[in-house]
Chains A and B, each alone.
Chain A
Amino acid sequence: MSLSTNHFEVFDLPISFDIDTEILAQRYRDSQRTVHPDKYANAPERDRRLAMQKATQINEAFQTLKKPLTRGLYLLQLQGIDTNDSNVAMDGEFLMEQMELREELASIKQQANPLDALSVFLNRIEQHQQHLTNTLSQQFAQKAYQSAHDNVRKFQFFIRLHEEALRLEEELI
């Protein structure tokens, strides 16, 4: 396992959007049990450093693969697709929908029962994310990377919206 080993190889998993998160979590724990710096507390300095590097890499790989959005992004990067290119136009209909959702979020504060309204809103965003996850699964299976990239971008919009909704929740509580 060198530093260039890809995140799937770290856990000996096939490169795929569909992964068994149970197995992933299990292998994550097993590998951390082996290389976590705590297992090297008594070891020479060099080995402690090495253990920290490995444990860091394993954490990074696990965090990336655990969530559908970061997993999708990573798969696209493995395909050599530049996921940081922000000069890509989004489809108009989607942007309209996002604007409406944002307006709706902004109006929640004024509602009679804002926390309940927010909870309904959060549920809807989560459904959108679930739907995108299903679509991504199909598109990655068909190697339709361009369409997958579009949906990953949409996913990013929903994640940001979700974060904003949670910030509002923090304000309201």
Chain B
Amino acid sequence: MALLQISEPGQSAAPHQHNLAAGIDLGTTNSLVASVRSGIAETLPDIEGHHLLPSIVYYSKNDIPVIGHAAKPFANINPLNTIASVKRFMGRGLKDVKTTGTRLPYDFVENEGQGMPMIRTVAGNKSPVQISADILTALKKRAEDTLGGELTGAVITVPAYFDDAQRQATKDAATLTGLKVLRLLNEPTAAAVAYGLDKGAEGIHAIYDLGGGTFDISILRLHHGVFEVMATAGDSALGGDDIDRVIAQWIMQQANIADDAEHHHIRELLDIARTAKETLTLQNIAPLDIQLDDAIKWQSELTREQLNELVDPLIQKTITPCRRAFRDAGLTVNDISEVVMVGGTTRMPRVREKVGEFFKRSPHVDIDPDKVVAIGAAIQADILAGNKPDDDMLLLDVIPLSLGIETMGGLVEKIVPRNTTIPVARAQEFTTFKDGQTAMSIHIVQGERELVLDCRSLARFELQGIPPMVAGAARIHVTYQVDADGLLSVVAKEETTGVHSEIIVKPSYGLQDNDIERMLKDSLEHAQEDVVARTLREQQVEADRVINALRAAVKADGHALLKHHEFLEINNALNELLRIKQDTDIKAIKKSIEHLDEITQSYAQRRMDSAIHHAMKGHRVDDFTENT
């Protein structure tokens, strides 16, 4: 009986089955994992009761990495092997690394400024993706131990203002841990979900999210369960870390500590700075007692007024993106019903004060700003895992930064403007510059500036095999497709001659697919799991997905949408897949799925169209009743 209830295409999970899913907030300073249990979304504590997992990884020569609270004490003793705030390096280059004093925080491996910097540790060179993967592994394990089973997937949050390289790096980190990413979700959107569902709020809301290392402002319209992001802006390198840094630098000046102080001294100063900042949330004065070694001793205090003076320029840096977001949304501060504060740094009284001034109302702080993002992610993960087939929540998000292409003279031609709702596809035509030109170099960039140099370079590739023609005769069709995770793929095609030269590029900023494969292999060997066995399992899971979805579909509307001979053909192919997937031939399973996909393609199209048609008809009835 229960099976008959599946009428929505795509909802293939059997209703009685509860799929374990988690929401993960992979933060700069702290990370969290949350899940929906007995209908309640909550963050999951570790065995000691800590909900927050400090995003710190300590690498030692022979042991597995130490993550979280246990890694913290190593930061001052062994600073070069204890990596904190790795999120700041995700999808970034060495030139983006900020320093306190003049030394780089870690021992970076020279890589000619290409791609993400690797960090030299006693356990080998580690890319930010691998370090993030180690944090994700700890969270995944916590979730699986608590929930008592393997996760079917997770929603991982990213700052809304993350560019394509940063998003891709995050997804790669999840791939390394063997975690299925149900969706990359923007942090402010996740917070809106947690907040909106909690309050049943409607209207236009601003989410001000100032975390450890990133700042986002998102303006959303909430309407009957639809969360429509109208505009987003931010700074993916601005947060509590920077506040700690200005305080530490202030102390260094006051106490005459040299700019090239030892790494462990800098780490200690940053710790003292953070403690002082936290003290000043409730107190007016924070004592400072610096004793780095026998030579460097200094005692003083930091007042809240002094702190305010130090942080005001940083807070001001968050207000400009707020203005920009309003402008892009075509709104003013007066259109906002509520402002929600997210992220640990919004605990600072000065941040609340300044934000309140700008928005002309006191911001909401009633959900724990550290947990709200993970909770929102858990709510969406629960839905995406198929546990709530009747839920009609819908998140419509945007890309934060324009995507463009390099044209003559190092200029950027925008192809997808910022704040376009995703998924989106945009195409542009280009032509050759010289007679007989057979290749074209395509450079994909992201950012708002007019010069390529001022934008982030995401990928370069060459389209080859263009038939020789006079200059200007070729028609090169370049399509940018951004999926619902905000990830880009680019296809280029030469069209005039019918000789399609096509290439698909997924920018990965320094990490190639084979790098990922290699790292995946390494990590699996480490976990003593066989790659082949895993690929087989994945293929079998996909086969089950195809079979379940098709069975549910045929049961729901096969009688209406399938002709008799189609039904028979599908039935045969389905039985074949059922037979083949018992076996261990990965290729055969793949081929059988492809065959089934091919013969059901038009049926799947018809189902979606019929569903859309149905949805619109449904609302027309609503219109009628609403109007009468």
Contacts and interface: CB of A to CB of B under 8 A. Distances in A.
A73 interface: no
Given A33-B226, A44-B546, A56 B384 contact: no
Interface string B607-628: 0110111111011000100000
Complex A-B, nearest 7 residue pairs according to Cβ-Cβ distance, in ascending order: A41-B384, A40-B10, A43-B10, A37-B484, A44-B546, A46-B597, A30-B615
A170 B228 CA distance: 25
Interface string B216-239: 000000011010100000000000
Given A37-B484, A63-B421, 4 more contacts: A39-B8, A42-B11, A42-B19, A51-B608
Contacts of B228: 29
Contacts of B613: 12
Contacts of B327: 166, 169-170
Given A26-B619, A41-B183, A35 B542 contact: no
A39 B10 CA distance: 7
Contact of B616 (A11, A39, A51): A11
A45 to B, nearest CB: 7
Contacts of A12: 613, 616
A15 B394 CA distance: 28
16 contacts: A1-B609, A26-B623, A30-B615, A31-B612, A34-B611, A34-B614, A36-B484, A38-B484, A41-B384, A42-B384, A44-B546, A47-B604, A52-B484, A59-B422, A59-B424, A62-B421
B64 interface: no
Given A12-B616, A26-B619, A42 B423 contact: no
B545 A31 contact: no
A45 B604 CA distance: 12
Nearest to B619: A30
Nearest to B550: A44
Interface residues of A, number: 41
B549 A43 contact: yes
A39 B612 contact: no
Interface string B586-613: 0000000100010011001100110111
Contact of A56 (B13, B424, B545, B549): B424
A23 interface: yes
B385 A34 contact: no
A138 B620 CA distance: 27
Given A29-B394, A47-B9, A38 B619 contact: no
Contacts of B19: 42
Interface in A88-132: none
Contacts of B10: 39-40, 42-43, 47-48, 51
A54 interface: yes
Interface in B61-115: none
Contact of B223 (A29, A43, A56, A166): A29
Given A39-B8, A44-B545, A31 B615 contact: yes
Given A39-B8, A51-B10, A59-B424, A33 B615 contact: yes
Interface of B: 8-13, 19, 153, 182-183, 223-224, 226, 228, 320, 323-324, 327, 380, 383-386, 392, 394-396, 420-425, 481, 483-484, 542, 545-546, 549, 593, 597, 600-601, 604-605, 608-609, 611-616, 618-619, 623
B312 to A, nearest CB: 16
B231 to A, nearest CB: 13
From B10, B182, B422, B604, residue with most partner A Cβ within 10 Å = B10
A75 interface: no
Nearest to A26: B619
A45 B481 CA distance: 17
Given A33-B226, A56-B423, A63-B420, A38 B611 contact: no
Contacts of B182: 41
Given A38-B384, A54-B612, A46 B604 contact: yes
Contacts of A23: 623
Contacts of B394: 29, 32-33, 36, 38
A83 to B, nearest CB: 15
Contacts of B320: 173
A117 B614 CA distance: 51
A32 B396 contact: yes
A63 B380 CA distance: 26
A173 B323 CA distance: 9
A60 interface: yes
A153 interface: no
A55 interface: yes
Contacts of B9: 40, 43, 47
B615 A34 contact: yes
Contacts of A170: 323-324, 327
A45 B483 CA distance: 14
A9 B419 CA distance: 25
A52 B484 CA distance: 8
A115 to B, nearest CB: 11
A52 B483 contact: yes
Contacts of B392: 33
A33 B612 CA distance: 9
Contacts of B384: 38, 41-42
A50 interface: yes
Contacts of A37: 423, 483-484
Given A33-B226, A63-B420, A42 B386 contact: yes
Contacts of B611: 34-35
Contacts of A33: 226, 392, 394, 615
Contacts of B420: 59, 63
Interface string A52-85: 1011100110110000000000000000000000
A26 B605 CA distance: 23
From B323, B383, B597, residue with most partner A Cβ within 10 Å = B597
Contacts of A173: 320, 323
Nearest to B182: A41
Contacts of B593: 44
Nearest to B422: A59
A162 to B, nearest CB: 11
B386 A41 contact: yes
A31 B616 contact: yes
A106 to B, nearest CB: 18
B605 A50 contact: yes
Given A37-B484, A51-B608, A63-B420, A44 B619 contact: no
Given A32-B394, A32-B396, A37-B423, A45 B484 contact: no
Nearest to A36: B394
Contacts of B484: 36-38, 52, 55
B524 to A, nearest CB: 22
B325 to A, nearest CB: 12
Contact of A42 (B12, B380, B421, B612): B12
